[in-house]
Amino acid sequence: MSESTHPRVTGSVTPETSHPRSAARLAPAKSCCQTPSQVSAGPRAPVVAIVGAPNTGKSTLFNALTASRVTTGNWPGTTVEVSRGVWRATPPASPCTRGGCADGHEESTQDLTVLDLPGAYSLDAHSPDEHLTRELLQEGPVDERPDLCVVTVDASRLAHGLYLVAQVRELPLRVVVAMTMSDVALQRGVSIDSHALAEGLGCPVVTTDPRRRTGLDTLAAVVRTTLAAPVPAPRPTPDTDDALTRDDDRFTWLSAAAEQATVVPGHDRLTLSDKVDRWVTAPLLGPPVFLAVMWAVFQLTTTVATPLQDALDRLFSGPVTDTVMAGLTLVHLDGTWVEGLLVNGLVAGVGMLLTFVPLMALMFVLLALLEDSGYLARAAVVTDRLMRTIGLPGRAFLPLVVGFGCNVPAISATRILPDARQRLLTVLLVPFTSCSARLTVFVMLGTVFFGRNAGTAVFGMYVASVALIVLVGLLLRRTLWRTMGSEPLIIDLPAYHVPTLRLMALVVWQRVRGFLRTASGIIVITVSAVWLLQSVPAVAGQSFGHVGVEDSVYGVVARTVSPVFEPAGFNQWQTASALMVGFVAKEAVISSWAQTYATDQPQPGQSGLLGEHIQAAFQQSSGGHTLPAVLAFMVFLLAYTPCVATLAAQRREVGLRWTAFGVAVQLATAWLLAVAVFQVGRLFW
Amino acid sequence: MTGPLHQVLAEVSAGTPTVAEIIRRTGLSDDVVRAALDHLVLSGRITSTKLSLGCPTTGCGTCPSAGGCALPAALGARRPGLVSLALTRPVA
Amino acid sequence: MATGMDLRSAPLGEPLTLLRVDDPLLGQRLATLGLREGVSFRLLTHTVGGGRILLVDGSRIALGSDLVRRLRARAA
């Protein structure tokens, strides 16, 4: 088990001469001041054995110490290779005062015989190498043992190397630890305090880099000082025959020494992150900073993604539809139900799915950015107190804020929550955040019914949205999750850092792909199903695909459903139909009205003819209490299932059963609230 | 008094799935836990079997060796890989 | 045996030593983040809602106000 990196000068060594003591005895006695002609420092020269685990730089150190004064051969009676050399130990720029030459000359250099013992992780004799090391250090006659043992220890894997030190320290031996690979340790963010380590180990520790030949002089000085001193008392060991207890005692000892000596750079220094945190999490400044960041997230997800969404929408309703139509004309299927299925079912469904892609991608980028930069952990600290009231940790704020832009990415954003139950609760609450699609309907209804107070009405919906989240959250927590304790806030704050682009891109791509894979089916199927229901005639004399909505199966269903909304004041079949389409997507509510009232869709900001139709409808259905009915309708719109894409995302995150449960909660909440609003409202208006 | 070796051995016998988890649960340093695992393998108290390599389809985040791997460096390899650690004999 | 002070009254920036955590489960959770009995740490800053950020063994840990009330320390 010798190291291959080691350029050895191999001489012919007989078993006789390869033994250090015999070699020393055979070598002519000479002053240490002379250069030895053979690889021995003389009979009186101290013997230093270098031991250490493989790959700790042991042989590199040996080579650095001995230069070319080396012989290598098998240890007598074994196949284990041992190198022996002379180390001209020169301490750094100071005359030899201790451990000088035997003849008493003032001498700055002391020659030592050095043995490079085979790599050994321990003295437990698991291999011939370890066996020899153990024999030499532990079991051989005392006068044959080396005078000093240098143990090489890899600073980047300190505990691994210290086990051998623990064992060697149990022997009546002088021990010096040569710590190598400090640069590697430093690259991993760890530095070892050699003084603290020496204190813990009870023997000197010298940091060296044999490759760069640094620390060798210090090692020489320390070795000479130690040689001049008496053999230190061995480390006490527990009185036991149990190997595990004995080994564990060594580990207890070494881990204490390692812990005491390991210094994480910047451990006690305040970093830039700390300075930023002083502002970002501060009692007064923290919340505004958080709100600013969230506003930016909200703005970016809606404003940047909207043009892209519109462009994709135009692409699908324009060129793609035209191409499909042209294709159908070629095969003479234009004007048939196939055209309806392809254009109004598949193309519309796929188009809707794809318009979510830019939004989702942007959302995931922002999420990854917040998470990777380290801000998310701070935001969780800031919002923790607030979120705690509904039993959620601080970081649940993010998906809820995102939900005000679009519920679909918000559902996916719940993944930042580590606890499954908290994730589930947040997934169930996200649909109550008023997304921007609902905003378009609110704005349209607001301008039609509230005139100058339209802004207040819309704002009221947002307030209602926040109230709904808190109320439903409390309700669910009091009923379903009564056992869910609020865990105390303990967050390990990572240092801020610049996010890795490649990693972010990978994460974003994986998440978008996952969304497409799971959401595509449900969206396309639902859009096609609505088309199918609207195409199947429910009255005689109409043909498939050529039927008005009123006479289709869809119209009949809407008519059947509409009485349900009577206590809420909007039991018109057109309104019920709009709500049913709204189940697929809120954007479709207005177009559904336009379709059923057979008018053009109004331009934003003007209510036009459609407004008059709707006004008349609400007035009729509410028995004159128009405003309470409209408010009830808006509240229903706010609280019931946002869109089929949200359902797809929910199914992906929490499964079909919980998604169905969520739909039930949403419909129940929406209906109850709408009825309450209308019934209470009509007492006043 | 239980030292690091007993603690790590107890975690392995309790089926703690990853080295990172052992580190978290014992509160010991990464270095000491890995050294203890290596020692337990070398002294024959636990066996270490290298599992087939390959990334989980769900990405690196779900890989049990994401937090570092348990393959004892003393056994020759420093490259991360998935290993299964099992008790050789019951803990006395 | 809880002597010392709770973290609400502990000064920022001064070295502190953590005293025993009575709740074993909580103690275990804190230990995994390096907050064990006898460990020395410093409080870095106040956070929203009465929490603190503390520096222990090179890592920064945010604690909520409930924990700040429950944990006790003495000046190191």
Among A191, A281, A486, most C C-beta atoms within 10 A, so best to mutate, is: A281
* Best CA proximity match to B12, nearest among B43, B42, B48: B48
Q: What is the CA angle C20-C26-C30, rounded to 5?
A: 75
* Residue extents of the structural domains in chain A: 15-263, 529-681
Nearest CA in chain B to A124: B43
Report the pLDDT averaged over residues B80-84: 56
Determine the Cα–Cα distance for residues A107 and B61; give it in Å rounded to an integer. Answer: 62
Do C57 and A489 make contact, defined as CB atoms within 8 angstroms?
no
The answer to whether residues A484 and A392 touch, using CB atoms and an 8 Å cutoff, is no
Residue C37 has a pLDDT of: 77
Do A163 and B39 make contact, defined as CB atoms within 8 angstroms?
yes
Q: Say how far residue A170 (Cα) sits from the centre of its chain.
A: 44
The one-character DSSP state at A150 is E
Determine the Cα–Cα distance for residues C34 and C49; give it in Å rounded to an integer. Answer: 24
Q: What subunits make at least 3 CB pairs under 8 angstroms with B?
A: A, C
Number of structural domains (chain B) is: 1
Q: What is the CA angle A456-A394-C49, rounded to 5?
A: 90
Which burial class, exposed, middle or buried, applies to C27 when counting CB atoms under 10 A from its CB (0-12, 13-18, 19+)?
middle
Residue A564 has a pLDDT of: 92
- Contacts of residue A294, defined as CB under 8 A and 6 or more positions apart, other chains included, come to A379, A397, A398, A401
Among A56, A244, A504, most B C-beta atoms within 10 A, so best to mutate, is: A244
Determine the Cα–Cα distance for residues A248 and A608; give it in Å rounded to an integer. Answer: 84
The answer to whether residues A116 and A65 touch, using CB atoms and an 8 Å cutoff, is no
Classify residue A632 as left (phi > 0), alpha (psi -120 to 50) or beta.
alpha
Do A124 and B2 make contact, defined as CB atoms within 8 angstroms?
no
Q: List chain C residues with CB under 8 Å of A261.
A: none
Of A266, A277, A384, the CB nearest to C53: A277
Q: List chain C residues with CB under 8 Å of A282.
A: 45-48
Determine the Cα–Cα distance for residues B62 and A492; give it in Å rounded to an integer. Answer: 21
Q: Say how far residue C58 (Cα) sits from the centre of its chain.
A: 14
Query: Using 50, 70 and 90 to split pLDDT, how confident is the model at B63?
Result: very low
Determine the Cα–Cα distance for residues A176 and A160; give it in Å rounded to an integer. Answer: 17
- Helix or strand or coil: residue A71? strand
Residue A118 has a pLDDT of: 84
Determine the Cα–Cα distance for residues C2 and C18; give it in Å rounded to an integer. Answer: 11
Determine the Cα–Cα distance for residues A19 and A13; give it in Å rounded to an integer. Answer: 10
Residue A79 has a pLDDT of: 61
Residue A450 has a pLDDT of: 86
Higher pLDDT, B48 or B3: B3
**Three-state SS sequence of A351-403:** HHHHHHHHHHHHHHHHHHHHHHHCHHHHHHHHHHHHHHCCCCCHHHHHHHHHH
Residue A674 has a pLDDT of: 95
C70 touches chain B (CB under 8 A): no
CATH of A15-263, one of 3.30.160.100, 3.10.620.30, 1.10.730.10, 3.40.50.300: 3.40.50.300
- Quick one: which H or E segment has residue A631? helix A626-639
Q: What is the pLDDT of residues B21-60, one digit of tens each?
A: 788 788 888 889 989 998 888 888 887 765 544 444 444 4
* Residue extents of the structural domains in chain C: 5-75
Q: List chain A residues with CB under 8 Å of C55.
A: 268, 274
Which burial class, exposed, middle or buried, applies to A29 when counting CB atoms under 10 A from its CB (0-12, 13-18, 19+)?
exposed
Nearest-CA distance from C6 to chain A in Å?
16
The alpha-helical segments, DSSP class H, found in A536-596 are 553-561, 573-584, 587-596
- Give how far Cα C15 sits from Cα of A273, A457, B35, Å: 20, 55, 31
Determine the Cα–Cα distance for residues A530 and A455; give it in Å rounded to an integer. Answer: 33
Residue A19 has a pLDDT of: 40
Query: Could you please report the per-residue DSSP string of chain C?
Result: ---SEETTTSPTTSEEEE---S-HHHHHHHHHTT--TT-EEEEEEE-GGG-EEEEETTEEEEE-HHHHHH-EEEE-
Determine the Cα–Cα distance for residues A550 and A634; give it in Å rounded to an integer. Answer: 23
Of A267, A488, A495, the CB nearest to C67: A488
Of B4, B42, B73, the CB nearest to A255: B4
Nearest CA in chain B to A247: B5
Determine the Cα–Cα distance for residues A387 and A541; give it in Å rounded to an integer. Answer: 58
Query: Could you please report the per-residue DSSP string of A166-177?
Result: HHHTTSS-EEEE
Determine the Cα–Cα distance for residues A472 and A666; give it in Å rounded to an integer. Answer: 10
Residue A612 has a pLDDT of: 84
Determine the Cα–Cα distance for residues A190 and B31; give it in Å rounded to an integer. Answer: 11
| Amino acid type, C60 | R
H helix and E strand count, chain B: 3, 2
Cβ atoms within 10 Å of A182's Cβ, excluding its own = 20
- Both tokens of A562, joined, read 């509409």
Complex ipTM value = 0.89
- Counting as low any pLDDT under 70, the low residues of chain A are 1-41, 68-79, 92-107, 142-143, 264-269, 298, 301-302, 482-487, 518-519, 595-596, 598-608
**Three-state SS sequence of A241-302:** CCHHHHHHHHHHHHHHHHHHHEECCCCCCCCHHHHHHHHHCCCCCHHHHHHHHHHHHHHHHH
Residue A74 has φ and ψ, to the nearest 5°, of -70, 140
Domain region containing B9:
4-87
Q: Say how far residue C37 (Cα) sits from the centre of its chain.
A: 10
Determine the Cα–Cα distance for residues C5 and C59; give it in Å rounded to an integer. Answer: 22
Residue A484 has φ and ψ, to the nearest 5°, of -70, 100
B39 touches chain C (CB under 8 A): no
Query: Using 50, 70 and 90 to split pLDDT, how confident is the model at B62?
Result: very low
Residue B65 has a pLDDT of: 42
Sign of the Cα torsion A83, A88, A89, A91 reads negative
Determine the Cα–Cα distance for residues B82 and B71; give it in Å rounded to an integer. Answer: 7
Q: What is the pLDDT of residues C13-30, one digit of tens each?
A: 888 888 888 887 787 778
Do C53 and A281 make contact, defined as CB atoms within 8 angstroms?
yes
The one-character DSSP state at A112 is E
Task: Assess if residue B92 is contained within a domain.
Answer: no
Do B32 and A258 make contact, defined as CB atoms within 8 angstroms?
yes
Residue B60 has a pLDDT of: 45
Report the pLDDT averaged over residues C37-62: 86
* C-alpha radius of gyration, chain B, whole number: 13
Q: What is the CATH number of domain C5-75?
A: 2.30.30.90
Residue A176 has a pLDDT of: 96
Nearest CA in chain A to C70: A488
| Amino acid type, B50 | K
